[in-house]
Structure 1
Amino acid sequence: MGHAPSTALPRVRVERELSLRAVLTGIALGILLTPSNVYAGLRIGWSFNMSIIALLVGFAVWQSLPGRSKGRPVWTLHESNINQTVASAAASIVSGGLVAPIPAYTLLTGHQLDPLPMMAWVFSVSFLGIWIAWYLRPTLLDDHGLKFPEGMATLETLQQIYQQGHEAMMRIKVLCSAALLSGLVKWIDGFVWAIPRWAPTPVLERLTFTLDPSLMLVGFGGIIGIRVGLTLLLGAALAWGGLAPWLIEHALVVLAPNASGPQFAALVEWLLWPGVSLMVCATLTSLSVRLLQMPRQRPTELRQHKGERARMRFSLTPAAGLLLSMVLVVALQALLFGIDWWMALLSIPLAVCLAVVAARVVGATGIAPIGAIGKLSQLSFGLVAPGQVAINLMSANTAGGAAGQSTDLMNDFKVGQAIGATPHRQLIAQCIGIFIGSVVAVLVYRMLIPDPQAQLLTAQWPAPAVATWKAVAQTLTQGLGALSPALRWAIVAGSAAGMLLGALDSLLPHRAARWLPSTAALGLAFILPASISMMMGLGALLTWLVGCRWPSVTERFAITAAAGLIAGESITGVGASFWEMVRAL
């Protein structure tokens, strides 16, 4: 997925691009797909890029309508690009803090934002990231060392559906079939008959080793690959099969007498510390090494694009947009969280710097280091304003959210550059997308989690990203001295293991590094119930086995089928929550 497409798309004349139907299609798909990322983010801490799904569905809907003229497609190439830009921007709104720092802030302070202020905050953080990406565009897109693999994957899908339309229709059938199957299983489990969570023994059930009938988790396993899937299984065995029984035996975690069923909430309060330490140190170490290895842009390349950057620098509209986004972010930090305006101002240069880092890493590797960016910003504000939870979480949220939207738009700009799209129209589409995403995502979050204090960090809603932000904020505000000696040793051990694995992953040749466990998955397995890690590992293993036997089928349909399984269950789960809320009225 990291290679450039073999056949470049022709630079066709732009007949239709930012059309009303393209925008409305993107809005409709964004409304459908955004709940999936909110649901998945609260369940497993990961989200899914929706660009390819939006491309396939939009193409299938419009190309199935009559109206071809002189062999030209009804739904143009550039309309497809606008459609996926709007939809993916809406779905990526979760990077604005909705499934991480915002719930962590509620858990630590007891203060829950009302829906409208929450929408304004998520939108403002993402809006800042969009304008940062606009100013980064000329330099990063013309840096030949940055391939933007995720954008290239979207471009490759565009190639296939406009050169082989029947392939797109086949993928849509697979996507819809998988979504219907996954949604049906979720509906049966929620409304018809509660599917049993089988466990071999009561002891293993207490340690969360149960079979979770979730096809969404199987779908995520199909996307993450065999290395990450096996690492999740290894991490579950270490954390829940090895460390958890030892904690109970030595009374470091005391369970209720005669406790039955999974004891996730009691055990994760201890296990999350070594898991978070491992993830944070591994990602920061790996990010540092990758930045040191990244080739610098040559002076000739800088001179080559000096004119374009100069024209953008003096353009009034982008400057006004950037200024407005800064004012919004600073004002909302002061109004909503009581942060001093001068401290809120410090979040702006930090957000710009870290968004640049994130965009370059995404361009080089295809991996968005949003978790590492968030932790870097938390550490920075922990030094500047020690002991202040609001600043540590919400000012840091500015950097993480801006970086998330900046990287999403940079991938879209890369696609647009290849097909001759108009950049400012893509920017408008991105703004529309984050507005829709902010409204939909906040409403879905409030519907799913009306009581964060009682619902989050439980077996139903593990919310590992929330646990990570909360743990780092607690450590930076209270200090390690507030933790027990055993927990401090666990943090040291997790940090050391993370630094070692992160350095090896970046320094070793790719052939050797792929045999290392995935540090993100290893740390995540300490925070997720073992049942979730098992089902995701199962999905990865099944996909790998099918790929060994039928590689062409897997290459064509594995990601599409997995996306259908994710969308089907998550949309059904959100719909079920909405139905329960209506019944309670």
Structure 2
Amino acid sequence: MADSEPGPVSDLHPPKEFTFKAVAIGLLIGCLLCFANLSFGLQTGWISMMSLQSALIGFLISRLLPLPLSAQEIIVVQTTAVATGTMPLAAGFVGIIPALKLLDEARDGSPPINLTWLAGIGWSCSVAFFGVFLSPPIRKQVIIKEQLAFPSGTATAQLIAVLHKMPPPDTTVRRRAGFIAIEDEETNAHHEEAEEVSAPENFQSQGWHALASSFAASGALTFFAYFFPAIFSVPLFGSYLAREWAWTFTPSLAYVGQGIIMGFPTTLSMSLGMLLGWGVLSPLSKLSGWAPGPVGDMTDGARGWILWTSLAIMCADSLVSLLPVVAEYFADLFPRRGLEVHAKEDYDTETEDRLVPNTWVVGGLLGSVLIGTFLVWVVFGHDGIKPWATLLGFALGGLLSILGVRALGETDLNPVSGLGKISQLFFAWIAPGNIVANLIAGGVAEAGAQQAGDLMQDLKTGHLIGASPRAQFFGQLVGSAVSIVITTTGYSLYNRAYVIPGPSFPAPTAYVWLSLARLLRDGQLPENSGIFMVSFGALFALTSALKTYADRRQLWYAGWIPSGVAFAIGFLNTPSFTLARLVGGIVEYVYRTRYAKNKSDIRLIVIASGFVLGEGVMSVVSLVLKTFGVGVASCWGCLPGLCGGCPA
């Protein structure tokens, strides 16, 4: 895969594509993504990896400055940006950390835990590098030996090849049907199309103009909405439904952009969940007296009641989708006699100086586990979680990472929500009654699985384009290290300026983590929620099985079977968050089916990226204004309790 055979170099010599300009641009994009993901994650529980978008924006920036970057340097830009931008989820700042703030001493045996900035740095350091050091050996297995598809990573490689006018990468991969290898027809179709596509000569100027315009539009709307909050809380279905049942619409261009990036099938699944959760189960629980509090209350309101059905759907979908992966994993370990097993060849053509040495991997894993365990003990104390439990959390995280990465490689979905619940179940068994330990150890395990999965998509892209795995490894380390400070600082600022969880940043996944931890300790469910959990859990177990079957056989209807995780997210978020994403999904579908010249048309992705980044950057400006006491200009049009930042 290397462009030329490199000469002897020292093990510590950085690969040629690991350049200052590539890392600097990657960090710039990653920091923007980090703030965007932190803001959106605290609002909706959903973050975007933005791998393809990072590569695209890096390409445009390099041409604008101009600082021309090779295709391999763009890979470093992308890898660094993703490692930086996804830390809010990996370090639990959109889930675990807000959940610790919700603890109740009378109920949970521990007072609320609100980490200081320094404690947040210590916690982030404890989980930031385990997944990075875990990536090289997993890469060897799933990318080189098994050649799993990793659809998003493959699509990014095709984009980079088009932008740099390179020959299309060889994306022929092997899908498994039992033990017999078959070709991935969908990926081969993309490969054939890529051969016919070339970057338009004027794409650089058009692409930059589209990115800048969408960035400015989204940023301006967000800035204006800060001073006039009613703009982002439109009673689209009437004031009664908005006030009593939380049916409002947020015309955020960033949400529309996220819907475009997610695609129509995913946003449709979320919207179906929204209709069932907020249109049927929420009124049912309220009117039946099962959830007597205000509809939006997560404790005794309808939102807290439907949370349990959402949790059951997430667990059922994630666990069922993992079963084939687990079965194949053990089948590979213990093949049956007489059954023909497809030989797995080692197709890695990289030279040793471009790979990550095993000594680095072993030393890094041991160091990250031992130092991480020590830092967790320093931050939370012996009463919070015992060091042996943290060590088990890292070990479990390593095992779950393998399952998560394999699921991601075959389905393009990293089931971290289900993996997190598995870790909570395990620690409820070994450390019964300790909710703090359950949350922390579960977060440690989830961090490794989520980080290793996200980084594996980038390593797949690098493998197809011919980038140095060592250069990507360095980019991952730098991005993760910088993001420790960026993410912790950003969360601390948000925590000072806003109530978290609160109206502006409800942090819905925090309630998922804490509710399951409480259930595992107390065994108490809200009134009549159990029957709905069992019913919808069973339904989506069957749905997930059908979707997994259709995906693996590449049946035409596979993409139209609802995603259980996306469906459940529709329960977690109020309709205002989901409706705008549905708009984006519809725009994506119409553009792709009617206006796109081919599947490699990336104009809409450019615009969507600008929408997401524009609001992400402006959220930082809004945060600064809030910190210095600059309030809204007018609450005109706001309904009571529905406009973030408005006291009306």
- TM-score, with structure 1 as normaliser: 0.88
Describe the shift of the 1:60–1:484 C-alpha distance in structure 2 as closer, same or farther (beyond 3 A): closer
1:376 counterpart letter in structure 2: I
Residue matched to 2:211: 175
**3-state SS of the aligned residue for 2:128?**
helix
CA RMSD, Structure 1 to Structure 2 (Å): 2.9
Residue matched to 1:283: 318
1:316 counterpart letter in structure 2: T
Residue matched to 2:184: none
Residue matched to 2:225: 189
Identity among equivalent positions (%) equals 27
1:213 counterpart letter in structure 2: P
Describe the shift of the 1:75–1:473 C-alpha distance in structure 2 as closer, same or farther (beyond 3 A): same
1:348 counterpart letter in structure 2: F
- Do residues 215 (structure 1) and 253 (structure 2) align? yes
Residue matched to 1:23: 23
- Superposed, which structure 2 residues align to 1:406-485 within 5 Å? 406-450=452-496, 454-456=499-501, 458-479=502-523, 482-485=524-527
Contact kept in structure 1, 2:264 and 2:586, CA below 8 Å: yes
Contact kept in structure 1, 2:98 and 2:507, CA below 8 Å: no
Contact kept in structure 1, 2:98 and 2:500, CA below 8 Å: no
Contact kept in structure 2, 1:264 and 1:459, CA below 8 Å: no
Of 487, 502, 514, which residue of structure 1 is paired with 2:544?
502
Unpaired runs of 5+ in structure 1? 1-8, 68-73, 257-261
1:488-542 Cα deviation digits (max 9, x unpaired): 2232233222322222221345334333222112211111101222221122123
**CA shift at 1:64, angstroms?**
3.4
Residue matched to 1:57: 57
2:516 counterpart letter in structure 1: V
1:352-393 Cα deviation digits (max 9, x unpaired): 111111122222222222112211111111121121112211
- Do residues 539 (structure 1) and 584 (structure 2) align? yes
CA distance in 2, matches of 1:249, 1:321: 56
- Do residues 39 (structure 1) and 83 (structure 2) align? no
- Do residues 318 (structure 1) and 355 (structure 2) align? no
**3-state SS of the aligned residue for 2:471?**
helix
Number of aligned positions between the proteins: 561
1:235 counterpart letter in structure 2: G
CA distance in 2, matches of 1:304, 1:232: 39
Residue matched to 1:162: 164
- Do residues 82 (structure 1) and 76 (structure 2) align? yes
Describe the shift of the 1:316–1:221 C-alpha distance in structure 2 as closer, same or farther (beyond 3 A): closer
- Do residues 518 (structure 1) and 513 (structure 2) align? no
Of 227, 240, 263, which residue of structure 1 is paired with 2:265?
227
**CA shift at 1:304, angstroms?**
8.3
Residue matched to 1:198: 235
CA distance in 1, matches of 2:357, 2:36: 40
1:36 counterpart letter in structure 2: A
Residue matched to 1:491: 533
1:326 counterpart letter in structure 2: V
2:136 counterpart letter in structure 1: W
Question: Could you tell which deviates more after superposition, 312-321 or 359-368?
Answer: 312-321
- Superposed, which structure 2 residues align to 1:385-424 within 5 Å? 385-424=431-470
Describe the shift of the 1:204–1:141 C-alpha distance in structure 2 as closer, same or farther (beyond 3 A): same
Contact kept in structure 1, 2:259 and 2:267, CA below 8 Å: yes
2:120 counterpart letter in structure 1: M
CA distance in 2, matches of 1:455, 1:65: 39
CA distance in 2, matches of 1:303, 1:222: 37
Q: Greater share of helix residues, 1 or 2? A: 1
CA distance in 2, matches of 1:547, 1:556: 10
Contact kept in structure 2, 1:16 and 1:78, CA below 8 Å: no
Describe the shift of the 1:189–1:484 C-alpha distance in structure 2 as closer, same or farther (beyond 3 A): closer
- TM-score, with structure 2 as normaliser: 0.80
Unpaired runs of 5+ in structure 2? 7-14, 104-110, 166-198, 334-340, 632-648
CA distance in 2, matches of 1:447, 1:342: 33
Contact kept in structure 1, 2:250 and 2:576, CA below 8 Å: yes
- Do residues 114 (structure 1) and 157 (structure 2) align? no
**CA shift at 1:136, angstroms?**
1.9
Residue matched to 2:395: 349
Question: Could you tell which deviates more after superposition, 106-115 or 9-18?
Answer: 9-18
Question: Could you tell which deviates more after superposition, 34-43 or 405-414?
Answer: 405-414
Contact kept in structure 2, 1:85 and 1:429, CA below 8 Å: yes
Describe the shift of the 1:559–1:436 C-alpha distance in structure 2 as closer, same or farther (beyond 3 A): same
Residue matched to 1:100: 95
- Do residues 377 (structure 1) and 420 (structure 2) align? no
Residue matched to 1:48: 48
CA distance in 2, matches of 1:446, 1:419: 39
Describe the shift of the 1:332–1:497 C-alpha distance in structure 2 as closer, same or farther (beyond 3 A): farther
1:474-495 Cα deviation digits (max 9, x unpaired): 211222xx22441222322332
- Do residues 11 (structure 1) and 11 (structure 2) align? no
1:293-328 Cα deviation digits (max 9, x unpaired): 5784858437888x999x999843322211110112
1:318 counterpart letter in structure 2: V
2:562 counterpart letter in structure 1: P
**CA shift at 1:127, angstroms?**
0.2
**CA shift at 1:192, angstroms?**
5.2
1:247-277 Cα deviation digits (max 9, x unpaired): 2222222246xxxxx7455321111111111
- Do residues 267 (structure 1) and 312 (structure 2) align? no
